[in-house]
Structure 1
Amino acid sequence: MRSSPLEDRHRRLGAKLVPFGGWDMPLSYPTGTLAEHRACRTDAVVFDVSHLGTLRVTGPEAYDRLQQAFTNDLARIGPGRTQYTHLLDEDGSVLDDIIVWWVDDESFEVMPNASNTDRVRLALAGAGSDGGLRAEDVTADRAVLAVQGPEARGRLATISPEAAAVARNCVEAVGWDGIALTVAGTGYTGEDGVEIAVPADHAGSLWDAVTAAGITPAGLGARDTLRLEAGLPLHGHELGPGITPLQAGLGWVVRWDKPSFAGKAALAVERERGVARRLRGLRIEGRRPPRSGQAVLRDGDVVGEVTSGNFSPVLEAGIALALVSPDVTIGDELAVDLRGTPVPATVVKLPFVG
């Protein structure tokens, strides 16, 4: 089990640490997940997301390798920008969803999910011709802090105006107290904010400065309820074996005019014939939280399955993402089998909040 460079800070704050993707990470602090969630929606929080992988991809072939491996098209952006993309299996299902930080002409920071760093590194090593590329796993060398919420930039500006000014979907190298930071205008909450990569040896100092500025520590429990309210997919739930970008409603991440990428042929077949299921949002009647794996019913018949579900602190109701029959549309009245009790649910437009 790996540990974050900030583990001592989490323990001092009384965090509940749990295994996640091979790491011991904070689930919540003594204030609790609901309070942390609401702080992100109304003010500013900081998450330790050091469990995410970082592959530093450099060299004259870096751009071409990323283009050949991933579904999205870097030609649509440029240095100093970020891009969400997918790595597909040959059957078109999503091996991982990834954020690419294009730092400069021949340098990229590729951010896989916690357990997929080696898989993505091997995929890059196997794409294209040999030579002219370096894909180095630098996960252990840095920590990543996600500062999120409507007041995130204002509070961060009291520490580093340069970091606070990094625009949405942009990435910049900035200095803070003599330390080199890489800051991206990205996040996973549905709120504005930035993610900051800091050398591991200096992570504690930055964390202390951020929390001293009145930014509330938040754990992975709140990060999950926030991303669910925002309708954002989680690998292993809305994405993974047997689930394609088209089924997940993420066809915009696939650039068909690229000459090739892993899984393109199988995905093209699915696009031609139509998907067998698609991801929808469900608002549940009452406060009971639905859970992954529960059946979705229409007139008593199973038409799908919940992929993620929880209680929404903002809506004060149960919400779920579910893979359902492709003829299920927004406004349909369904039900979710909550441990043997069918509870009414309405198909709603995503995001639930935002």
Structure 2
Amino acid sequence: MTPNNLKKTPLCAACEAAGGKMVDFHGWLLPVQFDSILAEHKAVREGAGMFDVSHMGQVFVEGPESWKFLQYVNTNQIKNTPAAGTYSHLTDEQGRIIDDAISFCLTPEKFLVVVNAACIDTDVAWFKKHAAGFDVTITDDSARWGMIALQGPQALAQAANLIEGVQEMPRFAIKEITLFGAPGYVTRTGYTGEDGVEIMASPEAIVKVWDALLQAGVKPCGLGARDVLRLEAGYLLNGVDADGRQTPYEAGCGWVVKLMKENFIGKPALQAQKAAGLRRRLTGFVLTGAGVPRGGCKVFKDGAEVGVLTSGTYSPLFKGIAVGYADMALQEGDAVEIEVHGRKIPAKKTKTPFYKNRV
């Protein structure tokens, strides 16, 4: 696919003007980096960085049974208190992850669900398929919004220059705002392991937000730094660490499964899996030798293959880090080898997250 055929976010021109190196990301033209990935990583860990995440999806669920519907299609207990958000997984009848999403309660009868870019069409179709019998309306409003993720120890202070009261927002909260004369939302989540916010506004207003943050000294950051940061923080990358074959338990996210709920899609399968136990689970590894692990690399212990990586990278904090699905028999600190370009590099099993955030 050529750049001319790729979808462009409202911030595409601004990213290019800021020196962004643009690449194809699931059919979107997005910046992989502006400066070096190391410099962008440092900005987020020590100051403030911003990411164009306008490719993410915004789906509105409205109607008297909005909460009841979201309870049914999500594994987690969805909060129905206005301004509260809930991270959860959408699973199929076999308990396999379709997507991970955050449902924000605007009112008990109106929710904003933020979904992954590559899953927008799939998620909307899934919602509509299962909305039968519920008094709800599903609206894909993704094209009407631009979105900036502002992350880092100084992110809230920077956001406060544009948004009154943002520093008082609790984690996973949502607030309706007006920016440059346009309605919008600010949410306080993140995908980097640092504190921060996501700002959603109209395509015209989000460009003004970007320009204001840029002038204030916030560093623009790309997909490269974002992947390193999220892996350090132990966050799941849907489509990579969960590719439609794994359950939340296998992906190390059993905490999002609330089996005490009366009913949700995939509950019987997840109950059965929990009772039977797992054979493999998403596991963290740190290289103790020189090398950069990548998805697809095999993991060996005592000469036998015991797993395969899904994500791996060079971390400025920890050198080579990776996650992958490995045998449950592996214990914390076990010595293993990871095969990179035909060479087996010493590593050890470790807990995730690699980086404990300060949030």
2:348 to 332, 346, 349: 346
Are residues 286 and 35 of structure 1, via their aligned partners in 2, closer, same or farther at CA, if it must alter by over 3 Å?
Answer: farther
1:270 to 263, 269, 273: 273
1:229/1:351 contact within 8 Å kept: yes
Which residue pairs with 1:333 in the alignment?
A: 335
2:202 is matched by which residue type in structure 1? P
SS at match of 1:54: strand
2:289/2:347 contact within 8 Å kept: no
Gaps of 5+ in 1: none
Q: Larger deviation: 161-170 or 235-244?
A: 161-170
1:194 aligns with 2:193: no
1:309 aligns with 2:312: yes
Query: C-alpha offsets along residues 239-259 of structure 1, whole Å, 9 cap, x if unaligned?
Result: 122211111111110110112
1:39 aligns with 2:46: no
1:20 aligns with 2:21: no
1:224 aligns with 2:227: yes
Work out the CA distance in 1 between the residues paired with 2:62 and 2:273.
34
User: Equivalences for 1:89-168 in 2 at 5 Å?
Assistant: 89-130=92-133, 132-168=135-171
Query: C-alpha offsets along residues 293-352 of structure 1, whole Å, 9 cap, x if unaligned?
Result: 11000001000001100000122x100001100111211111101111111111112111
2:200 is matched by which residue type in structure 1? A
Work out the CA distance in 1 between the residues paired with 2:118 and 2:84.
25
Are residues 313 and 148 of structure 1, via their aligned partners in 2, closer, same or farther at CA, if it must alter by over 3 Å?
Answer: same
Work out the CA distance in 1 between the residues paired with 2:250 and 2:17.
43
2:78 to 71, 74, 81: 74
Gaps of 5+ in 2: 1-5
Structure 1 residue ranges, 4+ long, deviating more than 6 angstroms after superposition:
none
Deviation at 1:131, TM superposition (A): 6.0
Q: Larger deviation: 82-91 or 318-327?
A: 82-91
Work out the CA distance in 2 between the residues paired with 1:55 and 1:21.
19
2:210 to 199, 207, 216: 207
* TM-score, normalised relative to structure 1: 0.96
1:38/1:314 contact within 8 Å kept: no
2:179/2:201 contact within 8 Å kept: no
Work out the CA distance in 2 between the residues paired with 1:128 and 1:59.
11
Which residue pairs with 2:182 in the alignment?
A: 179
SS at match of 1:234: coil
2:69/2:134 contact within 8 Å kept: no
SS at match of 1:269: helix
Q: Larger deviation: 117-126 or 224-233?
A: 117-126
How many pairs were matched up? 351
Deviation at 1:287, TM superposition (A): 4.2
Which residue pairs with 1:60 in the alignment?
A: 64
Work out the CA distance in 2 between the residues paired with 1:128 and 1:117.
16
1:2 to 3, 7, 15: 7
Deviation at 1:214, TM superposition (A): 1.3
Work out the CA distance in 2 between the residues paired with 1:35 and 1:284.
22
Work out the CA distance in 2 between the residues paired with 1:24 and 1:45.
19
Deviation at 1:167, TM superposition (A): 2.3
1:203 is matched by which residue type in structure 2? I
Work out the CA distance in 2 between the residues paired with 1:90 and 1:338.
36
SS at match of 2:317: coil
1:353 is matched by which residue type in structure 2? Y
Work out the CA distance in 2 between the residues paired with 1:144 and 1:271.
37
SS at match of 1:167: coil
1:28/1:219 contact within 8 Å kept: yes
Which residue pairs with 1:11 in the alignment?
A: 16
1:85/1:97 contact within 8 Å kept: yes
1:287/1:311 contact within 8 Å kept: no
Query: C-alpha offsets along residues 138-157 of structure 1, whole Å, 9 cap, x if unaligned?
Result: 11101111000011111222
Work out the CA distance in 2 between the residues paired with 1:128 and 1:196.
29
1:156/1:213 contact within 8 Å kept: no
Deviation at 1:212, TM superposition (A): 1.3
Q: Percent identity?
A: 38
Work out the CA distance in 2 between the residues paired with 1:108 and 1:200.
21
1:51 to 51, 55, 79: 55
Work out the CA distance in 2 between the residues paired with 1:314 and 1:43.
16
Deviation at 1:90, TM superposition (A): 1.9
SS at match of 1:74: coil
Which residue pairs with 2:3 in the alignment?
A: none
Work out the CA distance in 1 between the residues paired with 2:295 and 2:235.
15
2:280/2:327 contact within 8 Å kept: yes
